[in-house]
Amino acid sequence: MNKSKQLEFQCQTDLFIDICALETLREAFKSVKRNKGAPGIDGITIERYEEDLESNLNQLKTEVMSWTYKPTPVRRVEIPKPGGKGVRLLGVPIIKDRVLHMAIKMVLEPILDPTFSENSFGFRPERNQQQAVQQAQRIVQSGKEYVVDIDLSKFFDRINHDRLIYRLKGHINDSRVLRLIGMILRGGIMIDGVKMPSEEGSVQGSPLSPLLSNVVLDELDKELEKRHLEFCRFADDCNIFARSQRGAERIMESIKKFIEKKLKLKVNEEKSKTRKSNEVKFLGMTIIEGTIAIAKASYDKAMEKVKNLIPRGTHLTIEKTMKEINTWYQGWASYFKMTQYPAQLKGIEGHIRRRLRARFVCQQKKKRNLLALLLKRGIKKKSAAKTVYSNRGTWNLSHTPALDRAFTVEWFVEQAGQKIISNAQMKHWFGIEKWVKLT
């Protein structure tokens, strides 16, 4: 063991005691509360657990330190995957277990995270998706535009427990912590009232699982670095870059063998491909000629979301509809603003406005009512009448000059600023700011 590893181990005095400390458990509960989440199989909510918090935390501490603690099986939840392609299996631990998982994460993360690769960006402090996409961009700009796009099949469900504990032993010298993690991994799953053993995998839904997943996949990172390959990884989404299609194919073949034989994981043959960067979706983005763009699948999904949030016929008021679309768009745009093609954002914003204008048309049951609305909005009578009595359908009417002038971008900003959100925010979200289109 080298000197740095010896010093690391010497600093790990009583990690188990640190995890069980009431101060740690209190901080862990605060994090669990911030993350919200549904109750586990016991039905106890975060609010109910908090009603007698000190007593509950003291009991948890006593159980863990006396080794009378037993993990409760997690509640299985199935989340449909986009496009109807199967389901994602999540697990919901009870609040007590969630607090313990968070406490373990809080104590171990400062020890484990510094050992992880600089090319890993997922579930790590001060690292995010944008940094991962920017690294992918830098690599492509360097001339490596062919991507080995690896998809791990049911990664969290197939984590090998023995191999994970073995990897942890290389960094954690407190055997009690390793024993506790082993108990959690084997805690079981409740399906239709029947407890099923968990002989492999780590629960998606546990605060501890993201950290453990990085421990598992750091072995892949180190192997790629040893081979001097350029890559970026976010959780189980890993892209490796090459200068040619042939080189990418060679990398795919050898890395696939390493993943399946050494890590005991499974590569999804259908989704794992070698292709040029402009054909690869990475964290919702794609790299086109060295620039970052919103991937087509992500863009199409956003357009469909707008359609669902602003249906033509609905009982919701226009104010309620605008509030819902603004709430969604705020979150969506805050992530996808990393695109270097501003026209993509303007396209979504324009689609939002057009669907809202279509709503105004639909609300007028008769043509004379629509005519009166346009006149009220300052449209000249001749232009308004020509538009209303043109026999166009609702969708065509929503993008006529008369409707555009009646309900301008500035009008939407004014309405949103008065009733929903700040004017400054709305200026960004609905495209009032000047955008410079990339050439």
Q: Cβ atoms within 10 A of the Cβ of 423, count?
A: 12
**pLDDT given for residue 360 in this prediction:** 87
Q: How confident is the model at residue 420 (pLDDT cuts 50, 70, 90)?
A: very low
Looking at the predicted structure, is the pLDDT value of residue 424 above 80? no
Looking at the predicted structure, is the pLDDT value of residue 16 above 70? yes
Exposed, middle or buried, 392 (CB in 10 Å: 0-12/13-18/19+)? middle
Looking at the predicted structure, is the pLDDT value of residue 407 above 80? yes
Characterize the bridge pairing of strands 189-191 and 74-80: parallel
Exposed, middle or buried, 44 (CB in 10 Å: 0-12/13-18/19+)? middle
Quote the CA–CA distance of 102 and 24 in Å, as a whole number.
Answer: 9
pLDDT digits (tens, 9 = 90+) for 205-218: 899 999 999 999 99
Q: How confident is the model at residue 334 (pLDDT cuts 50, 70, 90)?
A: very high
Q: How confident is the model at residue 11 (pLDDT cuts 50, 70, 90)?
A: low
CA 393 to chain centre: 39
**pLDDT given for residue 112 in this prediction:** 97
The DSSP string of 159-206 is --HHHHHHHHHTT---HHHHHHHHHHHTS-EEETTEEE--SS---BTB
**pLDDT given for residue 10 in this prediction:** 46
Residue 248 contacts residue 134 (beta carbons within 8 Å): no
Q: Measure the N-to-C terminal CA separation of the chain; round to a whole number of Å.
A: 55
Residues whose CB falls within 8 Å of the CB of residue 417, separated by 6 or more in sequence, listed in order? 423, 426
- pLDDT, average across residues 246-275: 94
Looking at the predicted structure, is the pLDDT value of residue 2 above 60? no
- pLDDT, average across residues 373-380: 91
Residue 419 contacts residue 320 (beta carbons within 8 Å): no
Looking at the predicted structure, is the pLDDT value of residue 435 above 50? no
3-state SS class at 408: coil
- Please count the CA atoms within 13 angstroms of the CA of 337 that sit on its side-chain side: 12
Q: How confident is the model at residue 9 (pLDDT cuts 50, 70, 90)?
A: low
- pLDDT, average across residues 23-35: 96
Q: How confident is the model at residue 419 (pLDDT cuts 50, 70, 90)?
A: very low
**pLDDT given for residue 276 in this prediction:** 96
Looking at the predicted structure, is the pLDDT value of residue 418 above 70? no
Give 149's strand partners: 239, 273
Mean pLDDT, the chain, whole residue set: 88
Quote the CA–CA distance of 106 and 99 in Å, as a whole number.
Answer: 11
Largest alpha-carbon pair distance within the chain? 87
Percent residues over pLDDT 90 in the chain: 69
Looking at the predicted structure, is the pLDDT value of residue 4 above 60? no
Quote the CA–CA distance of 236 and 173 in Å, as a whole number.
Answer: 27
pLDDT digits (tens, 9 = 90+) for 35-53: 998 999 999 999 999 999 9
pLDDT digits (tens, 9 = 90+) for 83-139: 666 677 788 999 999 999 999 999 999 999 999 999 999 999 999 999 999 999 999
pLDDT digits (tens, 9 = 90+) for 146-193: 999 999 988 998 999 999 999 999 999 999 999 999 999 999 888 877
Residue 172 contacts residue 15 (beta carbons within 8 Å): yes
